[in-house]
Structure 1
């Protein structure tokens, strides 16, 4: 094979960054010597321009029906127009046709709703932008949506979170196709400081734009955040909330998108991450202050959640702070 043919699918209401992150990253891989090289084409159903969320128009290079040769990678972009795109039967038919012969099928952000509507995510684990995850998951119950990771790979089907996570997704493509060394050089060329692993969380609960509307969920979240080093078992949290353990679990899954145990784990790890960057405390001391049994327990949990060790995290983020 002399090329890896990539088709990026657009429609009215796409997010321009979703498209550009993919195409620019693969172009950088070509310039740095990817062999076989990537050839990217931006396609719409009609072959006409796609209007982006920002109001800009992005000309199409080809109509989807005119893509006749098999493609290596099919990527469906996300954007505010995702619901209308997912309801367009002609668009779905073309996506299904191209997906059948593709080595890799992917979506960026809410483009996952198009793949889901096409039946390409049925029975699979997938992700999408954290802000739309509940909406998309409710519309497509046959898909196991997880709003936390930056991207998810399920066999040949890849899905990613919102906007700039498209860059992480595409770097992962380059690594899978050409190895970690080229992916590292591409990341450097794109001036992205660190290639984030897929299981890194999309959004810290400490910077979410909206707090949960349900009063009981807010009470539990406030208690966990204020007391990470105390007993935060489901039994204890149910007592704090004044509800049964089963009802508490149901409330947290519905309104916070996760079980009590996962919520506690996330709060403790984010508290530890904050302490790593803002203090000089030893990892063992931070572990004790954030509810972990030992420094080793924290290291294992931290690496699983963020994709790097506590020491690496501290080094990376302090360097960023020094450069800013």
Structure 2
């Protein structure tokens, strides 16, 4: 990464006040992750002012037992640009105080947009802020959100969902993805990319909570057509995905698609697909899948093709990679892993 990518820019005119709603038992990373992203954005030209509120103006204690001081009561907050509601372990089980719900509704009424992280979606749902909207939450609790709130269209595989001025994100670290999306909306992809690199994060993940993310080794897709193509490839790397098919996904000609890949990704459609398959294979190996299963599910089709890709990319065969990174426990490898011979 070039040092120039992390050179702070001059601040933009006008502050954007971001208010966080915290309460006893809130998930610390739901707040600290997005807060760090906004704070880092200020180094590159943004001008966010972070404030913390609780339902009654008292300090809150996180799920880790860490006390957090607040500016005051939610009902006393001045107008805000953005409100972020954190999650908590008990929220999916119906333990949502009415004071928390009222505070979220009050803050939302004072802001341009409102967002929840992880199970914070249950607070927004209880406040009626998600009625008639699409939303997501941690994958473990998506079914419960759908059952309890029939007026919400729950997208259980999404990293985050934007529906109008209401944003919801998946579990815990997805709050950082959400913050990056809000920063990109405010200041553009280039500034958001700098923040992501500063945090050693991904600017964009694939659409599914279970999918592998795009590494920040080059610029992420900016144009919507290219994002659609990348999304389809990452959702199903095992499909053939010919250049003609990719062009159809993007509603472009093959020439236009190739030019987009060259200009935005500095690669070709085929080479990018190969990288997606390699990353998927790494992820599957990390999860303990057998070599033959990895070859099939990642789209390589044969053990030899998989092996060649690993030798080309990292200089070791997939069995060696799995042995090195599958577990930190000395001498322990899950049953079934590395069961195929691949030379």
Query: Is TM > 0.5 for Structure 1 vs Structure 2?
Result: yes
Q: Does 1:95 align with 2:71?
A: no
Residue in 1 aligned with 2:119? 110
Aligned-pair distance for 1:91? 2.3
Map Cα deviations across residues 81-136 of structure 1 (whole Å, 9 max, x no partner): 32578732222222212212311111001100000100000000001110010112
Aligned-pair distance for 1:63? 2.2
Q: Does 1:43 align with 2:53?
A: yes
Q: 2-side partners of 1:58 and 1:316: how far apart?
A: 41
Residue in 2 aligned with 1:29? 41
Q: 2-side partners of 1:65 and 1:105: how far apart?
A: 15
Task: After TM superposition, list the pairs within 5 Å mapping 1:9-88 onto structure 2.
Answer: 9-34=21-46, 37-67=47-77, 69-83=78-92, 87-88=96-97
Aligned-pair distance for 1:6? 0.7
Map Cα deviations across residues 49-85 of structure 1 (whole Å, 9 max, x no partner): 3222233333323221321x11110110012032578
User: How big is the alpha-carbon RMSD for the aligned residues of Structure 1 and Structure 2?
Assistant: 3.2
Aligned pair in 2 of structure 1 residues 127, 295: CA closer, same or farther (>3 Å)? same
Residue in 2 aligned with 1:226? none
Q: Does 1:172 align with 2:181?
A: yes
Residue in 2 aligned with 1:315? 275
Q: 2-side partners of 1:140 and 1:317: how far apart?
A: 38
Q: 2-side partners of 1:127 and 1:196: how far apart?
A: 17
For this pair of structures, how many residues does the alignment match? 237
Aligned-pair distance for 1:299? 7.8
Unaligned runs of 5+ residues in structure 1 are 206-267, 274-285, 303-307
Q: Report which stretch shifted further, 176-185 or 92-101.
A: 92-101
Q: 2-side partners of 1:116 and 1:74: how far apart?
A: 15
Q: 1-side partners of 2:101 and 2:235: how far apart?
A: 43
Q: 2-side partners of 1:53 and 1:21: how far apart?
A: 15
The TM-score with structure 1 as length reference comes to 0.64
- State the structure with bigger RCO (CA 8 A, min sep 6), 1 or 2: 1
Task: After TM superposition, list the pairs within 5 Å mapping 1:1-324 onto structure 2.
Answer: 2-34=14-46, 37-67=47-77, 69-83=78-92, 87-192=96-201, 194-197=202-205, 200-204=207-211, 272-273=236-237, 286-288=238-240, 296-297=244-245, 311-312=271-272, 314-315=274-275, 322=314
Q: 2-side partners of 1:42 and 1:85: how far apart?
A: 24
Q: 1-side partners of 2:76 and 2:94: how far apart?
A: 19
User: Runs in 1 of length 4+ with deviation above 6 angstroms?
Assistant: 268-271, 298-302
Unaligned runs of 5+ residues in structure 2 are 1-12, 213-231, 251-264, 283-312, 316-324, 326-343
